[in-house]
């Protein structure tokens, strides 16, 4: 009996299993569309997870763009989650500390222009300010070698042109009259002692010659001496004549005045040729050579250009101006060039060999180092330090850092600096250029800096002097920010002039530099409840 019961129970179990399987199979067939959808969604989720798993997690970066990273998930002091950075991400791929990346669209908007570094002979024009000066070799001073008095003036004004041999003035001197008489007596004595003994005649000749030499030493002309020897009549005055043709630059002689030996009475300058003494800056003096041609322009004659030759580079430097005087000689037709006129000098300097050069606009000079942006293609740029040499009007020599043919940014490089926070990238350079890329630097360079964001909030305060506004705004989805109160800078003062505390506004803003948030537009927002801030937040 018990055995029959067991067999019966086994048959019932088999039947139930068969019926249950059929029922389940039927239900599965009826629910196939829904079950299929679930299976498909699960497959997609698995694919996404697998794709994420394929990317290697590098680190978590600060959501506010600050140089702070973490190997594990965490929150910042305001409760915002750190952002995961994966290897191989299009926008999040870590870059070297001296590299930056910008989208093609932004490159076009910025107007970036490239030019290849080239080998060229770096011709340069050295420009210097100067002044017209008389040729020192053409300056003549008229001074007496004996004591006397100015008896008469023939040239009595400064600036009067004179010819060579023209009488300037007449002088009276008791010494001159006495010397003339001594010579006349000595000449007469020589004639009288022609028949006398040799010793007496020789002594008289010696006296006559010494007196004649004395007159000649006083610049008495041969004509006057001959007349004195012939007639024996002494002249009361002596006429001084101009030693050269030129202009009277100085006249100290006054009629009736007494003068002493060696005292300057007139100065005459021949201005048919003049000097230009140009003050060349210290960094350019090595390029200036004697014999080089120079172009001289004078403010008084803007339509004229004079040509001269560099004849001397002075051996001294003026410490006040850090310049070295350079002498340029040039002709002065028509006496157009006046002493003390201001002159502008241009010296064309030719390079001896070709060197690697880039346009001057390609160099970003921070004051302590010079940097050039190299295009690596696909929106990538490398900020490379360079060592510069001589310059021309448009190009500069690169001694180290760039090779011939490398494409450099020659336009909009400063905009790229602002767009991609180049200062942070450059700050990662080591003195030897071997500093390795760090996650913080990679996050700083990979994060887009000028992407636009929007927020709505209530004005808490306005500082017109500093150009800032404190805004109590709601959440910002594009940055994953919660509601908070923080300070923004205004792109221009006009954005703040009509705002008042308590106003409800909608703003567009960007991150101009690391942690510096700038409002670019302001609009009125519908009245409503202001977003509650999670805490004061300033300085971004």
Residue 426 tokens read as: 């450059």
* Residue 531 pLDDT: 42
Whole-number mean pLDDT of the chain? 77
Task: Look up the CATH architecture of domain 453-537.
Answer: Beta Barrel (2.40)
* Residue 246 pLDDT: 93
Whole-angstrom distance, CA of residue 353 vs CA of residue 123:
10
Q: Which DSSP letter does residue 313 get?
A: E
């041969």: which residue's tokens? Answer: 222
* Residue 293 pLDDT: 92
* Residue 138 pLDDT: 93
* Residue 277 pLDDT: 96
Task: Look up the CATH architecture of domain 99-122+353-446.
Answer: Beta Barrel (2.40)
Q: Do β-strands 407-411 and 484-490 pair in parallel, antiparallel, or remain unpaired?
A: unpaired
* Residue 257 pLDDT: 94
* Residue 418 pLDDT: 58
Whole-angstrom distance, CA of residue 57 vs CA of residue 319:
61
Rounded to an integer, what is the distance from CA 150 to the centroid of its chain? 60
Whole-angstrom distance, CA of residue 258 vs CA of residue 150:
6
The list of the chain residues with pLDDT below 70 reads: 1-55, 63-67, 78, 87-98, 195-197, 232, 351, 413-451, 527-540
- Show me where the domains of the chain are located: 2-54, 57-86, 99-122+353-446, 453-537
* Residue 269 pLDDT: 94
Whole-angstrom distance, CA of residue 512 vs CA of residue 491:
10
* Residue 413 pLDDT: 66
Distances (CA, A) of 463 to 215, 328, 499: 92, 59, 11
pTM of the predicted protein model: 0.49
Q: Is the dihedral of CA 162, 165, 171, 175 positive or negative?
A: positive
Whole-angstrom distance, CA of residue 180 vs CA of residue 165:
22
């060039």: which residue's tokens? Answer: 337
């Amino acid at each position: 009996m018990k055995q029959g019961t067991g067999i019966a129970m086994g048959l019932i179990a088999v039947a139930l299993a068969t019926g249950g399987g059929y029922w389940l199979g039927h239900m599965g067939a009826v629910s196939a569309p829904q079950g299929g959808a679930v299976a498909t969604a699960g497959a997609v989720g698995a694919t996404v997870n697998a794709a994420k798993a394929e990317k290697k997690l590098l680190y978590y970066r600060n959501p506010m763009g600050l140089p702070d990273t973490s190997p594990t998930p965490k929150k910042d002091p305001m409760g915002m989650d750190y952002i995961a950075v994966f290897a191989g991400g299009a926008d999040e791929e870590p870059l070297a500390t001296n590299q930056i990346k910008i989208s093609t669209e932004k490159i076009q908007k910025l107007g970036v222009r490239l030019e290849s570094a080239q080998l060229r002979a770096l011709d340069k024009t050295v420009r210097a300010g100067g002044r017209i000066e008389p040729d020192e070799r053409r300056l003549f001073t008229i001074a007496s070698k004996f004591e006397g008095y100015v008896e008469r003036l023939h040239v009595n004004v400064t600036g009067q042109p004179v010819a060579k041999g023209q009488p300037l003035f007449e002088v009276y001197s008791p010494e001159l009259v006495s010397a003339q008489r001594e010579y006349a007596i000595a000449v007469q004595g020589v004639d009288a002692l022609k028949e006398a003994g040799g010793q007496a005649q020789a002594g008289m000749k010696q006296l006559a010659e010494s007196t004649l030499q004395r007159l000649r030493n006083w610049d008495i002309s041969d004509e006057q001496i001959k007349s004195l020897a012939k007639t024996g009549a002494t002249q009361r005055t002596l006429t001084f004549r101009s030693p050269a043709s030129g202009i009277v630059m100085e006249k100290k002689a006054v009629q009736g005045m007494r003068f002493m030996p060696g005292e300057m009475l007139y100065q005459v300058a021949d201005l048919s040729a003049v000097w230009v003494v140009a003050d060349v800056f210290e960094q350019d003096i090595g390029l200036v050579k004697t014999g080089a041609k120079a172009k001289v322009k004078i403010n008084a004659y803007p339509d004229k250009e004079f040509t001269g030759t560099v004849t001397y580079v002075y051996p001294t430097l003026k410490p006040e101006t850090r310049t070295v005087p350079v002498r340029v000689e040039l002709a002065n037709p028509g006496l157009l060039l006046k002493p003390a006129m201001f002159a502008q000098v241009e010296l064309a300097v030719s390079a001896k060999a070709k060197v690697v050069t880039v346009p001057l606009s390609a160099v970003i000079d921070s004051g302590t180092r010079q940097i050039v942006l190299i295009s690596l293609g696909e929106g990538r740029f490398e900020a490379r330090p360079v060592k510069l040499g001589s310059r021309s009007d448009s190009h500069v020599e690169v001694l180290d850092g760039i090779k011939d043919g490398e494409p450099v940014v020659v336009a909009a490089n400063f905009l790229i600096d602002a767009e991609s926070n180049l200062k942070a990238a450059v700050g990662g350079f080591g003195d030897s250029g071997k500093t390795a890329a760090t996650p913080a630097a990679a996050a700083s360079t990979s994060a887009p800096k000028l992407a636009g964001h929007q927020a709505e909030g209530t004005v808490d305060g306005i500082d017109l002097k500093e150009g800032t506004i404190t805004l109590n705004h709601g959440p910002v989805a594009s940055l994953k920010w919660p509601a908070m109160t923080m300070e923004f800078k205004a792109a221009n003062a006009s954005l703040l002039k009509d705002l008042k505390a308590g106003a409800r506004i909608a703003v567009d803003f960007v991150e101009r530099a690391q942690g510096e948030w700038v409002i670019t537009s302001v609009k009125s927002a519908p009245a409503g409840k202001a977003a509650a801030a999670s805490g004061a937040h300033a300085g971004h």
